[in-house]
Structure 1
Amino acid sequence: MARVYTKTGDDGTTGQLYGGRVAKGGELVEALGDIDEAVSTLGVARAGCPDPQIAQILLRVQRELFIVAADLSVNPSHRDRLKPGISLAEASMVTGLEQLIDDLTREHPLRPVFLVPGTTPLEAAIDVARTVVRRAERHTLRAKEAGHVVSEHAQKYLNRLSDLVFVLARQAAEGAEEPVSHD
């Protein structure tokens, strides 16, 4: 097996997909780190998920986040090498999330109030993942403002994903009364 460490990042940079290097402390790497953290926090939620439907959705979006990360991390001069379903975020990923959100909210309508996370362990874990996805979206927008290429589909995907994860957290409350943000 090859070594895990390469020493190429010792200078404070990290490699882009298909060549090139960017600063580890820059906005793009912050966004990519948040996406990585979102994948992991969704994994924590999935590991404790007794509901096969929710677990399957969590796994699906974990895999899709790898696509979004690849889309963001590619050297801009090599975007033509990205492959749909592997490394290129597409409109169908966004519409897929929208359809899922619509289906789930039809099954379990949302309350028009702010809710306090922590009703069930699964709901709390999913809500933590939601906050990480929101941060990933903010850092992705900052990376775009800093001049990095951010595809419209990757940007929209992160926005819709946080909505979906919110909906999943409500489902994970298992019908228990979730406390509202104020009395």
Structure 2
Amino acid sequence: MANTIKIYTRKGDDGTTGLYGGGRVPKDSAAPEAYGTVDEAQAALGVARSLAERGGDLDRILIGIERDLWALMAELATEHDKAHKLVDGTSRVTAEMVAALEATIDDVTARFEQPTEFVVPGETQVSAHLDVARTVVRRAERRSMAVVAEGSQVVPYLNRLSDLCWTLARWSEGVSIITKTLPTKEA
């Protein structure tokens, strides 16, 4: 019989959660709200990836992002006085990670003609899920503002990630349906 690790610890039954590097905080405090929303974004990206061609460009891009988000969540889950325990690229977001997102946006943008107006989401399942992920990333960005330390790259990373999600959605759908002003009702 194999030894198994139990998924439940019962430590959170009192309404607190453990932080990376030690310490506990209420589950509804700013840090768990921030990294919990990033976790939600990561799951939304996973749904989009599940619909992508395995081994294709979109699959590879999303896997890289999902891995980056572990580092981002670790940084958000670390109290400022324990930040010295963080490791660049593993548990702390770096400027190089932000630059890599920018390079990916530039690369993908060069592959298609971008719409010049707002678009109607939902042209394909992949693009629809990427648009949902984009909105969750934007919420994660807002929630992270209350947690990040000065000089952190978390907010720039999330800002670029939402841009990348939009770019990937438009690229994956091929042709976007643009919004148009609804006709006014004549009296």
Q: TM-score scaled by structure 1?
A: 0.90
TM-superposed deviation, 1:113? 1.0
AA aligned to 1:110 is Q
Does residue 7 (structure 1) correspond to residue 10 (structure 2)? The answer is: yes
* Identity among equivalent pairs (%): 42
CA distances 1:147-166 after superposition (whole Å, capped 9, x unpaired): x6365211110011000010
Asked if structure 1 preserves the Cα contact closer than 8 Å seen for 2:115 and 2:178, the reply is: no
Contact 1:126/1:169 (CA < 8 Å) preserved in 2? yes
Q: Greater helix percent: which structure?
A: 1
Q: Secondary structure at the match of 1:57?
A: helix
What's the Cα RMSD here?
1.6
Secondary structure of the structure 1 residue equivalent to 2:153: helix
SS at match of 2:53: coil
Q: Secondary structure at the match of 2:25?
A: strand
Instruction: Give me the TM-score of the superposition, normalised by structure 2.
Output: 0.89
Distance 2:150 2:132 in 1: 25
Q: Deviations over 1:44-102 (max 9, x none)?
A: 10011127101111111011011100111113222111112211110000011111111
Counterparts of 1:35 and 1:103 in 2: how far apart (Å)? 24
2:22 corresponds to 1:23? no
- Tell me how far 1:179 sits from its aligned partner: 3.5
**1:82–1:88 CA contact under 8 A, matched in 2:** yes
Return the alpha-carbon distance in structure 1 between the equivalents of residues 69 and 180 of structure 2: 30
Distance apart, 1:112 and its partner CA:
2.0
Partner in structure 2 of residue 58 of structure 1? 62
Unaligned runs of 5+ in 2: 183-187
Select the residue among 107, 116, 124 that pairs with 1:120. Answer: 124
Q: Which amino acid aligns with 1:116?
A: V
Equivalent residue in structure 2 for 1:86, among 90, 99, 114: 90
Partner in structure 2 of residue 129 of structure 1: 133
How many Å separate the matches in 2 of 1:150 and 1:108? 37
Which stretches of structure 1, 4 residues or more, deviate above 4 A after TM superposition? Answer: none
SS at match of 2:110: helix
State the alpha-carbon separation in 2 of the partners of residues 74 and 55 from structure 1. 30
Paired residues for 1:138-153 under 5 Å: 138-141=142-145, 143-144=146-147, 149=149, 152-153=152-153
Task: Tell me which residue corresponds to 1:48.
Answer: 51
Which has the greater radius of gyration?
A: 2
